[in-house]
Amino acid sequence: MKIARTGIILNTEKYDECIAFYKDLFNLNILFEEVDGDFRMACFEFGGSYLMIETGGIANDIGKSVSENATKLRFNVTDIDMALEKLQACGIEAEIRRHHWGSTINIYDPDGNRVSIRDESTFVDLIKT
């Protein structure tokens, strides 16, 4: 099988808030949007892949557990300290957790989906070894 493209589909209840979150916080470009009755979807450019935000999910205001959503979206960044500053400027409480294998920030999107930000340099170092 030859794979032409990969993507992630994220069903959301708070559709508009999630669109703004991914577009504004992570500067993701919208490739296209579609509406079909009550169903809505937006497709974001997501590195070499795509992130599709669709209606039809169930939100959890305190954040979803691993059992509620086993997937975590990861965004690798070149400057994790600057990423933290941006999160805090947007009113998102977060902290950097530093490990021997790299630094991460864990947050939730408006629907309660788990989102992680990681420093790219230590990720690349792990790939090289």
In the chain (129 residues long), the average pLDDT of successive 10-residue segments reads 96 98 97 98 96 97 92 96 96 95 96 97 84
* Residue 128: per-residue pLDDT: 76
Question: DSSP letter string over the chain?
Answer: ------EEEEEESSHHHHHHIIIIIH-PPEEEEEEETTEEEEEEEETTEEEEEEE-----TT---TTT----EEEEES-HHHHHHHHHHTT----EEEETTEEEEEEE-TT--EEEEEEHHHHHHHHH-
Say if 1-57 and 70-129 have the same CATH topology. Answer: yes
* Residue 101: per-residue pLDDT: 92
- Separation between Cα atoms, residue 34 and residue 1, nearest integer Å: 28
* Residue 52: per-residue pLDDT: 98
For the chain, the domains span 1-57, 70-129
* Residue 129: per-residue pLDDT: 65
CATH code of 1-57, in short, is 3.10.180.10
Instruction: Tell me which fold the domain 70-129 belongs to.
Output: 2,3-Dihydroxybiphenyl 1,2-Dioxygenase; domain 1 (3.10.180)
* Residue 126: per-residue pLDDT: 87
